[in-house]
A = this chain, B = another copy of it.
Amino acid sequence: MIAIDWGTSSFRAWRLDDAGRELDRRSAPLGILAVPDRAFAATLATQLADWLAIDTGAVLMSGMIGSRQGWTEAAYAPTPAGADALSENLARVTLADGRDGWIVPGVITRDASGVHDVMRGEETQILGVLDALGPGTHRLCLPGTHSKWVTVRDDRIASFATHMTGETFALFAQHSILARTMPPAADELDTAAFDLGVARSGDGGGLLHHLFGIRAQVLAGALAEAQTRDTLSGLLIGHECHAASTGDAVVHLVGATALTIRYERALAQLGCSVRVHDPDAALAGLTRVASARGLLGASPA
């Protein structure tokens, strides 16, 4: 079979044998926003022409390809949601050669106030770390543009909350009054600057006040302009962790290393320990859904 993680900014594909073992992989900067005229069938056929010529197994996709802006909308499955529920609600599309393709649905939840939250793509990554988590209740954080904090209970996504941390960082670093004096992104984290931001997030006064404080500290000569980028990062991640992680002893992190080292550092200030998981969990999640649906080693369903 062929598994595809097709997100906003990238296209990643794996070819698997009947036991779910990886035979080949490839990727391209062809996220759904980079595909003109929503020509998803043609793009897939071009990218994987050689695989499709020799592999008659299922084609299973996850990510923003299942959003309203993607190939077809795969309706959100409600929490609690595990591999069974997701595999039963795959959306069907028609590939360029007439075969069926399948898309994993996103997940929707509601909090005590009745306010909804949604994920799309992360549900597959979460399924990919279930084996490492085991039974019981676990708290996960998938940091990113829209960070997800997830409660997993007995192999199901029980509830979750999204924090707009990465997007807020980008907005302030690019367009705000803080941007005027902010240094460009550096490879190495300024840990002292980052820790200042995390520490500030534990004070009263609120995020909107703390954001201005970065500007005021520079004007007062109490913070170097060179430190403002990582202080902003620490402040926002600190606010996210304070709001999301109340009382968690261990948080399971699933994400790129550049981000997980920041979250590990911030959570340590809050007295939380972390366990960092393989950031490449999407493949394991797609395999789990395929297995639940009986797509592994099978002809198209």
Instruction: Please report the C-alpha to C-alpha distance between residue A251 and residue B283 in the assembled complex, in whole angstroms.
Output: 56
Contact B171 A208 (CB under 8 A): no
Contact A240 B118 (CB under 8 A): no
Task: Give chain A interface residues in 179-213, CB to chain B under 8 Å.
Answer: 200, 203-209, 211-213
Contact A164 B212 (CB under 8 A): yes
Contacts of A167 in B (CB 8 A): 176-177
Instruction: Please report the C-alpha to C-alpha distance between residue A113 and residue B210 in the assembled complex, in whole angstroms.
Output: 12
Number of chain A residues close to chain B: CB under 8 A: 45
Q: Which residue of B lies closest to A146 (CB)?
A: B212
Contacts of A111 in B (CB 8 A): 203, 205
Cross-chain pairs A/B with CB under 8 angstroms, 20 sampled: A108-B220, A115-B217, A115-B222, A116-B220, A117-B212, A118-B219, A146-B212, A162-B209, A162-B216, A163-B208, A163-B212, A168-B208, A168-B211, A171-B175, A171-B176, A175-B175, A204-B243, A206-B244, A207-B239, A209-B244
Q: Which residue of B lies closest to A174 (CB)?
A: B175
Instruction: Please report the C-alpha to C-alpha distance between residue A164 and residue B174 in the assembled complex, in whole angstroms.
Output: 16
Task: Give chain A interface residues in 138-166, CB to chain B under 8 Å.
Answer: 146, 161-165
A253: Cβ under 8 A from any B Cβ: no
Contact B175 A208 (CB under 8 A): no
Q: Known contacts A171-B175, A172-B171; is A163 also within 8 Å of B209 by CB?
A: yes
A236: Cβ under 8 A from any B Cβ: yes
A242: Cβ under 8 A from any B Cβ: yes
A213's partner among B116, B216, B239, B242 (CB-CB below 8 A) is B116
Contact A118 B243 (CB under 8 A): no
Instruction: Please report the C-alpha to C-alpha distance between residue A176 and residue B177 in the assembled complex, in whole angstroms.
Output: 16
